Amino acid sequence: MSRSIYADDCRFRDPTTDVRGLKRYILAVSNLFEPSTSRAGLLSIAIKSDTEIEIEWVLEGTLKLPWKPYIPPIRGTTTYSLNQDGLVATHDETWSVSAVAAALAVVGVRTY
């Protein structure tokens, strides 16, 4: 997604991360998955209100860590809350796996 849709002071939250600010958010997500060995799929989009959009997705791939752990497909939702300028102010994710299961997958222990 384009950086232009996010407010400079946006907040990104998922089960393992909570960062504020567009630059910190970009740094956090740009260091996650190796694009050549990862994929993401959009499952649905729902307009919840004038200021809230929810998407459902599936994601899998190789993390950009020295030991290149593979994360099997996980499903999740992202809720985007918009500010008065129509920019994303909050980006909240939920996952089909727990934060503990996700962390264990990073070290090579699959629990799901």
Q: Are strands 39-49 and 52-62 parallel, antiparallel or unpaired?
A: antiparallel
Q: Is residue 61 part of a domain?
A: yes
Q: What is the mean pLDDT of residues 4-29?
A: 92
Strands 6-13 and 18-20: antiparallel
In this model, does residue 104 exceed pLDDT 80?
Answer: no
In 1-112, which ranges are continuous DSSP H helix? 22-30, 99-106
Give the type of residue at 58: V
Say if 111 falls within a structural domain. Answer: no
Q: What is the mean pLDDT of the chain?
A: 90
Indicate whether 111 pLDDT > 70. Answer: no
Query: Which of 10-14, 62-66, 97-101, 108-112 has the highest average model confidence (pLDDT)?
Result: 10-14
What gap in Å lies between CA 96 and CA 10, rounded to an integer?
24
Question: Is residue 89 in a domain?
Answer: yes
**Cα-based distances in Å from 70 to 17, 49, 63, 74:** 19, 36, 6, 12
Is 78 part of any domain?
yes
Number of domains in the chain: 1
With respect to residue 112, please indicate whether it lies within any of the assigned structural domains: no
Range of the domain at 94: 3-106
Residue-level pLDDT at 60: 94
In this prediction, residue 29 has a pLDDT band, given cuts at 50, 70 and 90, of: confident
CATH code, 92: 3.10.450.50
pLDDT in tens, 51-85: 999 999 999 999 998 988 888 899 999 999 999 99
